[in-house]
Structure 1
Amino acid sequence: MEYTSGAASWQKVIRRAVAGLLPRRGRQRRPGWSVGVPLIAAAAGLLFTTTATTAGGTALREDRRPELNQLIEERRTQVEGNERRAARLRAEVESETAVLADTDAPIRAQQDRAKGSEQAAGLTALAGPGITIELNDAPPPGAQPLPKGVSYDDLVIHQGDVQAVVNALWAGGAEAMSIMNVRVLSTSAVRCVGNTLLLHGRVYSPPFKIVAIGDPAALQRSLASSKGVRWFMDAVDAYHLGYKEDVSTVTVPAFEDSTALRSAKVPR
Structure 2
Amino acid sequence: MSLKTSDRKKRNNRILYALVFLVLGFIFSFSYRTLGPGSESQQMKLEVNDREETFRKDLIEQKERNKQLADEISKKQKSIADVEQLLSNSEQNHDALVKEAKSLRLLLGVVPASGQGIRVELEDGDYDPTQQNPNEYIVHESQVLMVVNELKIAGAQALSINGQRINSNSSIKCTGPVIAIDGQTFPAPFVVEAIGDTDALNSSLTLKGGVMDSVMSDNIVMTIEKKKEILMPALRDDIEG
Q: Structure 2 length normalisation: TM-score?
A: 0.52
Give the distance between the partners of 2:185 and 2:197, measured in 1 at CA. 30
1:123–1:255: 8 Å Cα contact kept in structure 2?
yes
Cα distance in structure 2, aligned partners of 1:164 and 1:138: 17
Which residue in 2 is equivalent to 1:196?
Answer: 178
Specify the SS of the correspondent of 2:204: helix
Letter in 2 for 1:153: N
2: CA distance, partners of 1:118 / 1:160: 26
The gaps in structure 1 that reach 5 residues or longer are 1-114, 261-268
Residue identity in the other structure for 1:136: E
Report the CA distance between 1:255 and its aligned residue. Answer: 1.1
The correspondence of residues 1-268 of structure 1 with structure 2, limited to 5 A, is 118-119=105-106, 121-141=108-128, 145-146=130-131, 150-225=132-207, 227-235=210-218, 239=219, 241-248=220-227, 249-256=229-236, 257-260=238-241
Task: Give the secondary structure class of the aligned counterpart of 1:230.
Answer: helix
1:141 positional shift: 2.3
**1:185 to 1:218, Cα distance in 2 relative to 1, 3 A:** same
Question: How far apart, CA to CA, are the structure 1 residues paired with 2:121 and 2:107?
Answer: 26
Distance in 2, matches of 1:182 and 1:151, equals 30
Between Structure 1 and Structure 2, the one with more helix by share is 2
Aligned length: 137
For 2:203, give the aligned amino acid.
R
Quick check: which has more Rg, 1 or 2? 2
Aligned-pair RMSD on alpha carbons? 2.3
Q: Which moved more, 1:247-256 or 1:210-219?
A: 247-256
* C-alpha distance in structure 2 between counterparts of 1:220 and 1:133, whole Å: 9
Distance between the aligned counterparts of 1:185 and 1:124, measured in 2? 12
| Deviation at residue 182 of structure 1 after TM alignment | 0.8
- SS of the residue corresponding to residue 126 of structure 2 reads coil
8 Å Cα contact 1:130-1:215 kept in structure 2 = yes
- Contact 1:161-1:229 at 8 Å conserved across structures: no
User: Given residue 185 of structure 1, which amino acid in structure 2 is its aligned partner?
Assistant: N
Whether the 8 Å CA contact 1:138–1:242 is kept in 2: the answer is yes
CA shift, 1:161, in A, is: 0.6
Aligned equivalents of 2:107, 2:192: Cα separation in 1: 20
Q: Give the Cα separation in 1 of the matches to 2:186 and 2:108.
A: 24
In structure 2, the CA distance between the partners of 1:173 and 1:125, relative to structure 1 (3 Å rule), is same
Q: Deviations over 1:183-202 (max 9, x none)?
A: 10011121111121001111
Q: How far is the alpha carbon of 1:118 from its aligned partner?
A: 4.6
What SS class does the counterpart of residue 186 from structure 1 fall into? Answer: coil
In the alignment, structure 2 segments of 5+ residues that lack a partner are: 1-100
